[in-house]
Amino acid sequence: MLEGIFLIVIVVTFLAIFFRPLNVPESIYVFIAIIFLLITGILRFTDLGQALISFDVVKPYAVLVFFITFAILSTGLDELGFFEYLSIKAIQLAKHDGLKLYKYLFVLSAVVSYVAANDIVILTLTPFILYFTKYTKIKARGYLISMFVVANTASIGQITSNPTNFIVSMVFDIAFLENLLYMFLPTILGLIAIYFILKKVFYKEFNLKYKEKKTDLSKIIKNKYQCRIFVVMLLVLMLFFAVAPLIKLELWIVSAICALLAIFVSQIKIKQLLKDLPWNVVVLVTGLFILLYGFISTGLLYDIIQRLDSVVVGASYYVFLAVSFLVTLICGIFNNIPSTALLSSILYNVKSVEQDIIAYAIIIGSNVGANITILGSLAGIMWFHLIKKKKHKISLWDFTKYGIIATVPFVIIVTIVLYAEFLIFK
């Protein structure tokens, strides 16, 4: 009985997050659901703290610290104009050519997503594309969807590119350098395929000339010294992520140290930086960890593990592909961060499938699942509402249709190459 009520609450909560019937921040719906679960006894007050300390094999507090401190670096670079500078350079290189603009935005989205984070690409380039298309009369749909899809595919390449990657690496003990080396070739080949697919799909929208609004690049970077410090700290962070497993240093600690050094060495205005951090995301993710702890408190988690352990067997490519698509679908429907935590806890305990296959299937699915529905990531929800606010129309069906067109071949290519690497090097 309680299990049924809990599952209904989960479905209703995620629908509310997507449709926002009360027009309040997404985290409010989650905490309403938590209060209801406390009243009904499905959750206990002691579960609130336990949910953030240990979500089965996941450490939510580590995920939250990593997310906040990495957001400090990326938000700081955004506020200092670093990403806008790169965007304008891409526009200038395009030389009034819509196809070239697509190419440079594709490369920019892929590189920033790979090096920094996919959400940063989505939340910084979306306003820029909307602004640019407003003054050049270019149709925004193709550029917006392409940028979104690329950001959520390039992000499979590094642990730092998506909080979901960090969760998986923490649960399955995947070293930064190992992930980097294994995922590099599959990511590149998958992105090449997506480049030509999206170019073909939106060719009529991209194949045009436009007039460029003149911009003084020297005025884009607000403080060159501070920007250099943040870029250096980001590079140092990437370096330490590579060696952290060798010196037994946890990644969230490395991220916290680099963020603090960036703040104090650069002497950036802390008050403004903290104000601009995505606190709604932090509160939402915190609430989702507590909400989904109900899978543990009701015993559903362990029931699912037992059932899967007796059904899912083998380590063939088809199992790898099937698990990747299954994770993609689940993350697309129920949002990738909480789904990744839950699936990692479940599949880590399924011993009938190779752990490498499970781990990388979750990494792949948790990233590209955001391309299947708007609900797949918080950035997707914010992206959709921002587009509506600016009076641009992209239907939910168009988003899903083009997302599937790009995602399905990407997953097939990545899994084939990655599985071949496992056979050769494992």
**249-280 CB burial, b ≥16 within 10 A, e <16:** eebbebbbbbbeebbeebebeeeebeeebbee
pLDDT reported for residue 159? 85
pLDDT reported for residue 359? 93
**% of the chain beyond a pLDDT of 70:** 92
pLDDT of 310 > 80? The answer is: no
Gyration radius from the chain CA atoms? 21
Closest listed residue to residue 59, CA positions, set 251, 244, 247: 251
**116-155 CB burial, b ≥16 within 10 A, e <16:** bbbbbbbbbbbebbbebbeebebebbbbbbbbbbbbbbbb
More confident residue, 136 or 101: 101
More confident residue, 241 or 341: 341
Map residue 95 onto helix, strand or coil: coil
pLDDT reported for residue 16? 85
pLDDT reported for residue 274? 87
* 350 φ, ψ (degrees, to nearest 5): -90, 105
If you average pLDDT over residues 99-105, what whole number do you get? 89
pLDDT of 148 > 90? The answer is: yes
pLDDT of 312 > 60? The answer is: no
If you average pLDDT over residues 153-160, what whole number do you get? 89
How does residue 275 score in pLDDT terms, banded at 50, 70 and 90?
confident
DSSP 13-70: HHHHHHH-TT-S-HHHHHHHHHHHHHHHTSS-HHHHHHHHH-BTTB-HHHHHHHHHHH
pLDDT reported for residue 372? 92
Map residue 395 onto helix, strand or coil: coil
Closest listed residue to residue 123, CA positions, set 378, 337, 370: 378
If you average pLDDT over residues 128-150, what whole number do you get? 83
**Residues 369/416, Cβ–Cβ less than 8 Å:** no
If you average pLDDT over residues 391-407, what whole number do you get? 89
| Separation between Cα atoms, residue 30 and residue 17, nearest integer Å | 8
pLDDT digits over 314-349, tens only? 678 888 999 999 999 989 887 788 889 888 888 888
| Separation between Cα atoms, residue 216 and residue 2, nearest integer Å | 61
If you average pLDDT over residues 173-198, what whole number do you get? 93
As a whole number, the mean pLDDT across the chain is 85
